[in-house]
Amino acid sequence: MSRWKFLLRLGRAFALLVVFVFAGALAVAAADALARGSERAGGALGTLIGRVTGGRAPVDLSRQVDPPLLERPATDVLRASGWELRGRLPPGVAGADGFYLRVYVNGQLARERNVPESTSFAIAGVPVPEGRSRIAASIEGPGVKSGMSEEIEILFDGTPPPLTVEVPKQGEPVTGERVVVRGKAESGARITVDNATTGVSAVTVAAEDASFAVEVALDPGPNSLKIRAGDAAGNTMEKRVDVVHRQSDLVARLTLSRSVFARSELPAPVSITVSVSDRRGSAVNGGAVTFSLSPPGLPTSTFETTTRNGRAVWAHVTIPKEGALPGEGLVTVRVVLPDGESVQQIAHLTIE
């Protein structure tokens, strides 16, 4: 091949390369112009939508919408009935057309509704199972989906607490001007005893072993007591016991070796003594005696014995430190003779 032919071919190849480069530059410029035109068209469309919707600014679909913020309830134990999920929407979403607030329970869609006009929301009737559940929410709209909100965890409890009234029994005669209602419910349950006859109420909290003891005043004659146990979720259980306050032919005197304890000195012993006589002052023997001790915050303990020479003793009972709380506790005794005649007395002890 001659030198001139080689140079000619090289020139043609260079010319083709220049043409390709120029064509690529034109394509890039055209694409850029088209993109700017689309943005202008989108802006014009947004303006038009704003006019049609009464001037409300359209949601910026070019950004990711933040998830809603869920409000944690004051307690993490709730009843499913009457529960409302509360929270706040992210900025710029309230009242937006075509946008939905979706609620998830344990990862499953449980409720969906249009976003409200205000940023705050409350959704009732979210179906939840008994037990512990994880609640979350998200926002979805045309071409937009938020991430999932931070979860809140709630224990839903719709079961009323158990309630057993051990003392007094239905229709039981009570000889003292006050009676101690004892029983079992649920640990931490709030126990309320209402005397419908006197209009007086008394309140306590069930101990760790679910036992409780509540002292309430009586009027002479029949008294109607309503005992109610309420748990942390607001569930309640009620029982009714009717008793009769009457005078006894027996006289009982209940004493404690000491009645005030500093919590720092626990565990500590206490001895409890009851002296029983008839109206003439004669000692009563053979009476069945039941002592009960309920220090504040601790389970109730009992001891049974009989009177000898008109006396019965529960000696050196230890009040433990673990679980004991500052407050006033109850000591009771009930003495029943073989003929059915009975007498009750109440004393108090304090933990400081």
pLDDT in tens, 46-71: 433 344 344 444 545 445 789 999 99
Amino acid (one-letter) located at 206: A
Query: Which pair of tokens denotes residue 94?
Result: 């309230």
Q: Which amino acid is at 262?
A: A
pLDDT at 51: 40
Residues 6+ positions from 182 with CB-CB distance below 8 Å: 165, 166, 167, 211, 212, 213, 214, 292, 294, 300
Look at residue 194 in the predicted model and tell me its pLDDT. Answer: 97
The correct answer on CATH 3.30.70.260 for the domain covering 249-352 is: no
pLDDT of residue 2: 52
**pLDDT (0 to 100) of residue 30:** 44
Residues of the chain with pLDDT under 70: 1-63
Cβ atoms 299, 211 nearer than 8 A: yes
Residues 6+ apart with CB under 8 A from 133: 105, 106, 153, 154, 155, 156
Q: Is the pTM of this model over 0.95?
A: no
pLDDT attached to residue 83: 86
- The second-level CATH assignment, the architecture, of 69-156 is Sandwich (2.60)
- Shared fold status for 69-156 and 161-247: yes
Q: CA 311 to CA 254: how far, in whole Å?
A: 10
pLDDT given at position 76: 82
CATH 2.60.40.10 fits 161-247, yes or no: yes
- What is the pLDDT, as a whole number, of residue 4? 46
Confidence (pLDDT) at 5? 52
Which sequence spans correspond to the domains of the chain? 1-58, 69-156, 161-247, 249-352
